[in-house]
Amino acid sequence: MKMTLSTIITLIIIGLLAGVLSGLVGVGGGIIMVPLFVLFLGLTQHNAQGLSLAVMLPPVTFLAVYNYHTSGTGGNIDWRVALTVSLLFIIGGFLGSKLALQIDQRTLKKIFGFFMLIVAIKLIFTK
C-alpha cells in the first residue's frame, strides 16, 4: 500500500475510531477496521482481516482494560474468564484464519456481512 498523506490520514481516523469504539463499547477490530480497510483503502477482505488482526497483536487495549479493572466499582473484569477465553481465542483465531484463507474473496465478504447483519439485528431488537 502506498503511504500517501491521504492514506496516512485515513489510517489515523480508522485507528482512532476503532480505539474509541473499543474502549466505549468493546468493539473495534473486525466490526470497525475490516469494513473501513475495504471501503476506504481498497484492501481485499483477506488483507483487511489480516491487517485487523495484526493491529490487535500488540497490547492495544491495555489502557482500556486497565480503566475497567481499576474502576470505582471494584473492577469489571473476571480474570479467570478473560484468561480462559483468551487462550481459546488464540486457538480459534488460528483455526479460523486457516479456514478463511481457504474461502474465496466473494464468499468471505458475504459471510462477514451476514454475521454483522445478524449481530446488528439482535442488538437493535432485543432489550
For residue 54, the number of C-alpha atoms closer than 13 Å in the C-beta half-sphere is: 7
**pLDDT of 28 higher than 80:** no
User: What is residue 123's predicted lDDT score, i.e. its pLDDT?
Assistant: 86
Say if residues 75 and 15 touch (Cβ distance below 8 Å): no
Residue 74 pLDDT class (50, 70, 90 cuts)? low
> Percentage helix, strand, coil, to 5, in the chain?
75, 0, 25
How many domains are there within the chain?
A: 1
Task: State the DSSP code for 60.
Answer: T
User: What is residue 58's predicted lDDT score, i.e. its pLDDT?
Assistant: 66
C-alpha cell at 59: 497490547
* Structural domain that includes position 116: 5-125
Reported pTM: 0.72
Query: Mind listing the pLDDT tens digit for each residue in 89-120?
Result: 889 889 999 999 999 999 999 999 998 899 89
Q: Which among 29, 19, 12 has a CA at the least distance from the CA of 116?
A: 29
